[in-house]
Amino acid sequence: MHGRWNELPVFDFVEVEGPLVEGKSLGWKLKWDGDKRAKLLGMAVKLGDHIKDIKRRKAKNARAKFLSLKADLERKGWAVISDFIEGRLSKEEAEKLLRRELKQAYRRAFELGHESSGMSDWVELTDRDLEWLESAYREEVGYLKRFLDDVDAGRGAMDYRKRWRMYVDTLEHVFFSGKMVSVPEGFVIDWVMNRLAEHCEGCEILKKNSPYTRNSLPTVPKAGATPCLSNCRCRLRVRKPRSLEEYKAADRKNRRSLLRLLKKVKGG
C-alpha cells in the first residue's frame, strides 16, 4: 500500500465575504467505497511521477469551469430574487427556481472538484460521495428558505445582493470536497494557515492536529465548521507521509471528536 509516493499540489481556497452555512463537514458519508479505494490507490502507483503534471493541468481547467459555474449561478439566481422582490414571482415560485439552480450547481461543482483531482478519468464518484453531496444540498436549502423569508419580511442588515453572493460562494466548499473524495489512500493532508492572515481558535486546533488522512479529515476551509466561517484563509496540502508511522498516526485522528471540539469553540 505504501509504494511510490507523489506529492500533490496544494489545494488553495478562495476568500469570500459573509458567513457560510455551518456543519458541512466531510462526515461519515465520505467513508471509503471498497472498489474506489482500490482504484485510486492503483492509479496513484501506476501514474507515478506523471500524477503531478496530470493533476496540475486538470486542476487549472476544472477551476476555470468552476468559476464560470459560479458566475452563472450568481446571475441566474439574482434574476429570480429580483423578480421576487419586485412582485413578479411568489416566494414559492422563487424558491422552486432557486432550488433547481442550486441543486444543479452543487452537483456540477462537486464533479468539477473531482475532475480537478486528476483522477476522474479513471475513478468515478460513488453513491457514498453523492449521498454526502445530497446532504450538503439539503442543509443549504434550509438557509435559502430563511433568506427568502427575510426578503419577504424586509428583514436583515446585509444587502440582499451581497447575501445571495454568499450563497453562491458556498459552492467553494463543494468544489474542494469533490477534490478530497478523490485523494488516494496513503496520502496525508495538512491544514495550512496563511501566516499573513488572522486565525480563529478552530483553525489553530486543526493545524495543531495535522496531518490527517482522507478518512480522518474533519472538514475543509470555508465549510463553516470553524469560527471564522467563510473568512477562513487556510488551505489544504496533500502530500506523501514522511513515514509509515506518520500515516498511521494521521489515520487514527478522531474526526468526530475534533468536530465536537470545533462546535464547542464556536459556541464560545
Query: What local confidence, expressed as pLDDT, does residue 170 receive?
Result: 80
Integer CA distances (angstroms), 40 to 18, 34, 118, 186, in order: 36, 10, 11, 10
Do 254 and 247 meet the contact criterion of CB atoms below 8 Å apart? no
d(CA 70, CA 240): 32
Residues 144-203: tens digit of each pLDDT:
999 999 999 999 888 999 989 888 888 888 988 888 877 777 788 899 998 888 889 999
How many angstroms separate the CA atoms of 22 and 143, rounded?
Answer: 10
Please report the pLDDT score of residue 53 as a whole number.
52
CA distance 14 to 8: 19
Nearest to 212 by CA among 178, 236, 235, 232: 236
- DSSP character at residue 28: G
What is the pLDDT at residue 185? 74
CA distance 242 to 122: 27
**Could you tell me the CA-to-CA distances from 238 to 12, 144, 168, 199, 265 in Å, in that order?**
11, 33, 26, 21, 26
Q: Where are the domains of the chain?
A: 10-266
Strand bridging mode 10-11 / 188-192: unpaired
pTM confidence score: 0.72
pLDDT, one tens digit per residue, over 84-95 is: 999 999 999 999
Of 142, 147, 250, 148, which Cα lies nearest the Cα of 190?
A: 250
Q: Strands of 235-239's sheet, edge to edge?
A: 10-11, 235-239, 188-192
Say if residues 153 and 126 touch (Cβ distance below 8 Å): no
d(CA 2, CA 179) in angstroms, rounded, equals 21
**Residues with Cβ < 8 Å from 142, sequence gap 6 or more?**
none
Question: What is the chain's pLDDT, residue by residue, as a tens digit (268 residues)?
Answer: 333 333 344 433 322 222 223 334 444 344 445 555 545 444 454 444 545 555 556 677 888 999 999 999 999 999 999 999 999 999 999 999 999 999 999 999 999 988 887 766 667 788 888 888 998 899 889 989 999 999 999 998 889 999 898 888 888 889 888 888 777 777 888 999 988 888 899 999 999 999 999 889 999 887 888 898 777 888 888 788 899 899 999 999 999 999 999 999 988 7
